[in-house]
C-alpha cells in the first residue's frame, strides 16, 4: 500500500527524532550517572581521608574517631571499619553493614600509601553497597598499619537514576507524539499547494483548457512548478486551437470540391449512352464520394467538439417525435437488408438541446445498428424516462463488439477488428461524435455488447426540468 507524502515524511521525521532522542537520552543518563557517582565517591574519599588523618601514631590511636563517624552516620547512614595489617578489625561503626562481602586483603596489600580503590557489593537481600578502601599510614615510620573502609548504600543513587530513567521513557513517546503531530501539520501545510494543483489539474480537460492553476507564491519551488505547468497549458490550449482551426479549414476546403465532383458523377451516371462498365465504375466512385463527404461533415462536427465552450443553441426537443421520424427514415435502409426495426416510445419525452446535433447523435447510432447487423436481423429503439433523464436505447442483434475493442470504441478513427469481415464501410468517427454530443448536452453514452449477439447503446440526457 503506498503511503502519502505526508505520512512518509511524518514517519521519517519521527524516526530521526526517535533515534536522536534515544542517543541524547542515553548520553544524558550516562553523564548523570557518572556525575552522581563521582560526587558519591568524592564524599567517601573525604570521609575515609579524615579518618586516616585522625590516626595518632604516637598513641597508636584514632583521635576523634567516634565524633567524626557519628556526624557522618547521622547525615548519611554510612558505615566504616578499620582493619590492621594482621587482618584484625580495630574498629567497626555501629550499625555496621551486616554480612559485608569478604575484605579483599590481597588487592588491599598491593595499595601504595597514596592510592585507594572502590568496590561495590551486593548483599543477600539485594541491597547494593559501595565503599572506598584506603591504607592507614604511620606518618613517623611511613609504614602501612592497615586500612580504613568506608561505605554507603547506593540505594538513593539508584532510586534517583531509576526515576530519571522513568522520566526519559515517559517523555520519549510524548515528545515523539508531539513531533509527529507538528511535522504532519507542517508537511501538510507545505504540500497544500501541491494538493490544490492536483485537484485543479484533475478538473482540467480539453473543454476547460483556459483554466489555470492557482499560484500562491510564484518565487518558491512549488510556485515555479505551477507557473511552468500553466505555461504548458498555454501551449496545449494553443495546440488545440490550431488543431480545431485546421480541422475546420480542411473540412471547409474539401466540402465544395467533393460536392461538385459528386454532382458531376451523379449526372454522368444518368447518361444512358455510357457503357455499363464505365457507369458501374462511376457508381462506385459516387459511393466513395458519399463516404468522403460524410467524413468531411464529421470532421467539421469534430472541430466543434474541440471547442472549449461550444455554444450549443438550446431549444426544447421532443425526443419521441424526433426518434420516430429518424426510425422511419432509416427504415428504408433497413428494408434493403430485410431487417426489422421497431420503435418503442409513446410518452412525450422532452429535453433541451440542439436538434441538429441530437439528430446526428441518434442517426450515427441508427446507422451503425443497420450497418453492423446482418441481413434479416432486428433492431429495436426505445425511449423512456428514468430518474430525471431521458433514456434512449438502440439494440441490435448484429455482429457485436469483442471485449478487447470495447474500451476504444469511442476513440476517434477506431474501428473494431470484426468490421472488416462484415465489409461495412466507415470512418471510425461516428461514435466519438455521438459521445461528444451526449456529453455536451450533460448526458452520457454507454454501450453493452457481446460478439455475434448484438449491442445496446444507451443514451441518457437530462429532461427539460433537470437541465
Ligand atoms: P464507423 O464509421 O466505423 O461506423 P463509428 O465511430 O460509428 O465508426 O463506430 C466505431 C466502431 O464501433 C465501428 O467501426 C464498429 O467496429 C463498432 N460499432 C459501432 N456500432 C456498432 C454496432 N451497432 N454493432 C457492432 N459494432 C459497432
Q: Would the pLDDT of 308 be above 90?
A: no
CA dist 62 → 51, 56, 108 (Å): 7, 6, 20
Give exposure, 63-75, as e/b (b: 16+ Cβ within 10 Å): eebeebbeebbee
Mean per-residue pLDDT over the chain, rounded: 87
Q: What angle do CA 83, 86, 92 make, to 5 degrees?
A: 20
Q: How far is the CA of 279 from the centre of ligand 1 (A)?
A: 30
C-alpha span between 145 and 61 (Å, rounded): 11
Q: What helix, strand, coil percent values describe the chain, rounded to 5?
A: 55, 20, 25
List of residues 6+ apart from 450 with CB closer than 8 A: 400
Query: What is the structure's pLDDT at 1?
Result: 46
Query: What is the structure's pLDDT at 310?
Result: 62
C-alpha span between 59 and 40 (Å, rounded): 32
Q: How far is the CA of 282 from the centre of ligand 1 (A)?
A: 27
Burial of 41 (0-12, 13-18, 19+ CB in 10 A): middle
Q: How far is the CA of 26 from the centre of ligand 1 (A)?
A: 74
Q: Would the pLDDT of 96 be above 70?
A: no
pLDDT per residue as tens digits for the range 246-257: 888 888 899 889
Q: Would the pLDDT of 467 be above 60?
A: no
Q: How far is the CA of 415 from the centre of ligand 1 (A)?
A: 6
Q: Which three cell numbers stand for residue 21?
A: 532522542
Query: What is the structure's pLDDT at 306?
Result: 67
Q: Residue 76 — pLDDT band, cuts 50, 70, 90?
A: low
Mutate which of 368, 381, 406 for ligand 1 pocket (most atoms within 8 A of beta carbon): 368
What is the average per-residue pLDDT within 444-460? Answer: 96
Percent of the chain predicted with pLDDT > 90: 46
Q: Which three cell numbers stand for residue 23?
A: 542517543
State whether the beta carbon of 306 lies less than 6 angstroms from ligand 1: no
C-alpha span between 417 and 378 (Å, rounded): 22
State whether the beta carbon of 430 lies less than 6 angstroms from ligand 1: yes
Q: How far is the CA of 454 from the centre of ligand 1 (A)?
A: 12
pTM of the model: 0.57
- In order, the DSSP letters of 261-296 are HHHHHHHHHT-TTS-HHHHHHHHHHHHHHHHHHHHH
State whether the beta carbon of 390 lies less than 6 angstroms from ligand 1: no
Report which protein residue has its CA nearest ligand 1's atom 13: 415
Q: How far is the CA of 367 from the centre of ligand 1 (A)?
A: 9
Query: What is the structure's pLDDT at 307?
Result: 67
Q: How far is the CA of 356 from the centre of ligand 1 (A)?
A: 21
State whether the beta carbon of 298 lies less than 6 angstroms from ligand 1: no
Least confident of 105-119, 312-326, 417-431: 417-431
State whether the beta carbon of 429 lies less than 6 angstroms from ligand 1: yes
Query: What is the structure's pLDDT at 107?
Result: 92
Report which protein residue has its CA nearest ligand 1's atom 18: 368
State whether the beta carbon of 360 lies less than 6 angstroms from ligand 1: no
Q: Residue 95 — pLDDT band, cuts 50, 70, 90?
A: low
What is the average per-residue pLDDT within 50-60? Answer: 81
Q: Would the pLDDT of 2 be above 80?
A: no
Higher-pLDDT residue of 55 and 167 is 167
Query: What is the structure's pLDDT at 445?
Result: 97
Q: Would the pLDDT of 205 be above 80?
A: no
Sole residue written with cell 441530437: 358
Sole residue written with cell 568496590: 119
For the CA of 432, the closest atom of ligand 1 is: 6
pLDDT per residue as tens digits for the range 146-198: 999 988 889 889 999 999 999 999 999 999 999 999 999 998 888 887 887 88
State whether the beta carbon of 372 lies less than 6 angstroms from ligand 1: yes
Query: What is the structure's pLDDT at 211?
Result: 83
Q: Would the pLDDT of 311 be above 90?
A: no
pLDDT per residue as tens digits for the range 24-40: 999 999 999 999 999 99
pLDDT per residue as tens digits for the range 126-142: 788 899 999 998 878 88
Query: What is the structure's pLDDT at 218?
Result: 86
What is the average per-residue pLDDT within 453-466? Answer: 91
pLDDT per residue as tens digits for the range 219-234: 888 888 889 989 988 9
Sole residue written with cell 453514452: 445
State whether the beta carbon of 448 lies less than 6 angstroms from ligand 1: no
Mutate which of 430, 447, 454 for ligand 1 pocket (most atoms within 8 A of beta carbon): 430
For the CA of 364, the closest atom of ligand 1 is: 7
pLDDT per residue as tens digits for the range 406-442: 999 999 889 998 877 667 778 888 999 999 899 889 9
State whether the beta carbon of 368 lies less than 6 angstroms from ligand 1: yes
Q: Residue 376 — pLDDT band, cuts 50, 70, 90?
A: very high
Report which protein residue has its CA nearest ligand 1's atom 20: 368
Query: What is the structure's pLDDT at 250?
Result: 87
Amino acid at each position: 500500500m503506498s503511503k502519502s507524502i505526508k505520512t512518509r515524511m511524518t514517519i521519517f521525521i519521527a524516526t530521526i527524532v526517535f533515534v536522536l532522542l534515544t542517543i541524547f537520552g542515553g548520553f544524558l543518563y550516562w553523564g548523570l550517572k557518572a556525575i552522581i557517582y563521582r560526587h558519591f565517591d568524592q564524599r567517601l574519599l573525604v570521609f575515609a581521608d579524615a579518618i586516616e588523618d585522625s590516626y595518632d601514631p604516637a598513641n597508636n590511636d584514632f583521635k576523634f574517631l567516634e565524633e567524626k563517624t557519628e556526624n557522618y552516620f547521622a547525615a548519611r547512614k554510612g558505615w566504616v571499619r578499620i582493619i590492621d595489617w594482621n587482618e584484625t578489625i580495630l574498629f567497626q561503626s555501629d550499625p555496621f553493614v551486616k554480612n559485608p562481602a569478604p575484605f579483599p586483603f590481597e588487592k588491599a596489600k598491593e595499595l601504595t600509601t597514596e592510592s585507594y580503590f572502590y568496590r561495590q557489593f551486593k548483599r543477600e537481600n539485594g541491597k547494593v553497597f559501595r565503599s572506598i578502601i584506603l591504607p592507614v599510614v604511620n606518618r613517623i615510620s611511613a609504614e602501612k598499619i592497615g586500612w580504613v573502609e568506608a561505605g554507603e548504600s547506593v540505594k538513593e543513587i539508584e532510586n534517583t537514576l531509576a526515576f530519571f530513567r522513568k522520566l526519559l521513557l515517559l517523555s520519549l513517546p510524548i515528545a515523539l507524539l508531539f513531533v509527529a503531530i507538528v511535522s504532519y501539520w507542517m508537511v501538510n501545510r507545505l504540500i497544500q499547494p501541491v494538493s490544490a494543483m492536483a485537484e485543479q489539474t484533475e478538473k482540467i480537460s480539453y473543454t476547460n483548457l483556459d483554466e489555470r492553476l492557482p499560484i500562491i507564491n510564484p518565487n518558491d519551488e512549488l510556485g515555479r512548478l505551477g507557473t511552468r505547468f500553466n505555461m504548458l497549458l498555454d501551449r496545449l490550449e494553443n495546440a488545440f486551437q490550431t488543431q480545431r482551426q485546421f480541422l475546420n479549414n480542411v473540412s471547409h476546403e474539401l466540402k465544395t470540391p467533393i460536392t461538385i465532383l459528386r454532382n458531376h458523377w451523379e449526372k454522368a451516371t444518368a447518361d444512358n449512352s455510357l457503357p455499363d462498365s464505365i457507369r458501374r465504375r462511376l457508381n462506385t466512385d459516387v459511393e466513395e464520394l458519399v463516404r468522403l463527404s460524410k467524413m468531411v461533415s464529421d470532421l467539421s462536427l469534430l472541430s466543434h467538439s474541440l471547442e472549449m465552450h461550444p455554444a450549443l443553441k438550446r431549444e426544447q426537443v421532443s425526443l419521441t417525435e424526433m426518434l420516430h421520424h429518424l426510425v422511419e427514415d432509416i427504415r428504408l435502409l433497413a428494408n434493403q437488408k430485410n431487417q426489422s426495426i421497431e420503435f418503442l416510445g409513446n410518452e412525450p419525452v422532452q429535453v433541451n438541446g440542439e436538434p441538429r446535433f441530437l439528430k446526428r447523435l441518434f442517426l450515427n447510432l441508427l446507422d451503425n445498428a443497420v450497418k453492423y447487423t446482418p441481413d434479416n436481423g432486428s433492431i429495436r429503439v426505445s425511449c423512456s424516462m428514468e430518474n430525471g433523464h431521458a433514456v434512449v436505447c438502440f439494440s441490435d442483434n448484429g455482429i457485436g463488439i469483442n471485449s478487447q475493442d470495447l474500451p476504444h470504441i469511442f476513440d476517434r478513427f477506431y474501428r473494431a477488428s470484426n468490421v472488416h469481415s462484415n465489409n461495412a464501410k466507415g470512418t471510425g468517427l461516428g461514435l466519438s461524435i455521438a459521445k461528444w454530443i451526449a456529453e455536451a448536452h450533460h448526458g452520457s453514452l454507454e454501450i453493452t455488447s457481446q460478439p455475434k449477439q448484438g449491442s445496446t447503446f444507451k443514451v441518457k440526457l437530462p429532461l427539460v426540468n433537470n437541465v
